[in-house]
Amino acid sequence: MTVYFMCIVLLTMGLYCLVAKKNIVKKILGIVIMDYAVNLYLIIIGYKTGGVAPIIEPNMPAATLERFVDPLTQALVLTSIVIGLGVLSLMVAMCIRLYEKHGTFDMSVISKLRG
Amino acid sequence: MENITPQLYALLVFMIVGSIVAIETRNLLSAVISVAAVGFALSVAFLFLGAPDIAITQLVVEVLVLIILIRGTILLDNTAVESHRDTLAVVTSLIFFGLLLGFGAMIFGGRGFPEFGEPLMRVSRVYVHTGLPATYCANIVSSVILDFRAYDTMGEATVLFTSILGALALLRKDGKRKEEEVVAA
């Protein structure tokens, strides 16, 4: 149980960084931390005590199949990690463009400069 | 395999401390590198949790994240940030923290949610038992990604392609002009 709560603590720290910081790069880092927390949470849900990685080896006893950890969450988290990379590159591209246009990363300055 | 809970706790504490450093440090470059350290710890945690495929992917993606973020921050003259403390935002995140913990206690404390170390595996059992005969793939994760749920992977490739296309379009130095503008110029 405590593991789940520590994942939630990590998620909330990312949320705090996303909401409270005014620097755009810090906001992006908050999103990245939330991404990590969600991925770790999903993998932890699929963990089985004494589990082994879901890879079948030659001459493996059939009982080992019952000790595999959940392969479904792993497959979906694999998808999620790669999508996180794509979204991050898009965010950093927007961030670089904003810096070129306004010369600052400060969100409050940028919102004053609009027009 | 032995009990992995102490190692998992140690890695989680390391990740939380690294995130605190990343959030509160003044220098943007050290914040980026702290986040990368958190990501590498996450990769080690995936290894302990029996997910070698995820650990490898996380390692590769982490290096790319580090490169992209350093590219985003290194070109600046001033990488130090002034400290901003917005009372409303702090209060908001504290409220969210309380809400998340409350809902978490409701979910994890009640019946129906699997304990740590006892996954449901209602769907996955089918994949584990029929993965080798149906797809001839020894790695069940690969057989789920590329065979049982191949449409998900196609959607993932679409999202990745679209986001990279967007990033390229944003970073393009000289945009394409319209026909009439070229004629007018």
| Contact call for A44 and B49, based on CB within 8 A | yes
Do B104 and A4 make contact, defined as CB atoms within 8 angstroms? yes
Which chain A residues are Cβ-neighbours of B171 within 8 angstroms? 93, 96-97
pLDDT of residue A87: 92
Structure tokens belonging to residue B146: 């590329």
Could you report the per-residue pLDDT of A34-85, keeping only the tens digit for each?
Answer: 999 999 999 998 888 888 888 888 888 888 888 888 999 999 999 999 999 9
Distance between CA B16 and CA B37 in Å, rounded?
11
**Hey, which of A17-26, A50-59, A88-97 has the most confident mean pLDDT?**
A88-97
**Chain A within 8 Å of B99 (Cβ-Cβ)?**
no
Average pLDDT over residues B3-31: 90
Mean pLDDT of B149-177: 88
Q: Running DSSP on this structure, what letter comes out for residue A65?
A: G
The count of C-alpha atoms lying within 13 angstroms of the C-alpha of B178, restricted to the half-sphere facing its C-beta, is: 3
pLDDT computed for residue B78 by the predictor = 60
Q: How far is CA B7 from the centre of its chain?
A: 21
A chain contacts of residue B115, beta-carbon cutoff 8 Å: 1
| pLDDT tens, position by position, B18-57 | 999 999 888 888 899 999 999 999 999 999 998 899 999 9
pLDDT for A51 equals: 83
Q: What's the ipTM?
A: 0.91
Q: Which residue has the higher pLDDT, A9 or B183?
A: A9
- Over range A78-98, report the average pLDDT: 91
pLDDT at A115: 53
Task: Give the pLDDT confidence of B94-144 residue by residue, as tens digits.
Answer: 888 888 878 877 776 666 667 777 887 888 888 888 888 888 988 999 999
Select the more confidently predicted residue: B78 or B168. B168
Which long-range contacts does B154-158 make (Cβ < 8 Å, 24+ apart)? B156/A79, B156/A82, B156/A83
The residues spanned by each domain of chain A are: 2-112
Chain B interface includes A98 (CB < 8 A): no
Query: Tell me, what's the pLDDT at A3?
Result: 84
For residue B83, is pLDDT > 60? no
Q: Indicate the angle between helix axes A24-45 and A2-20, nearest 10 degrees.
A: 160
What pLDDT was estimated at residue A81?
93
pLDDT at A23: 86
Mean pLDDT of chain A: 87
Share of chain A above pLDDT 90, in %: 36
Structure confidence at residue B22 (pLDDT): 92
Does the structure show a pLDDT above 80 at B13?
yes
Q: Which residue of B has its CA nearest to A54?
A: B140
| DSSP label at residue B114 | P
Specify the CATH number of the domain A2-112: 1.10.287.3510
pLDDT of residue B76: 66
What's the mean per-residue pLDDT of chain B? 84
Domain positions in chain B = 1-84, 86-120, 122-175
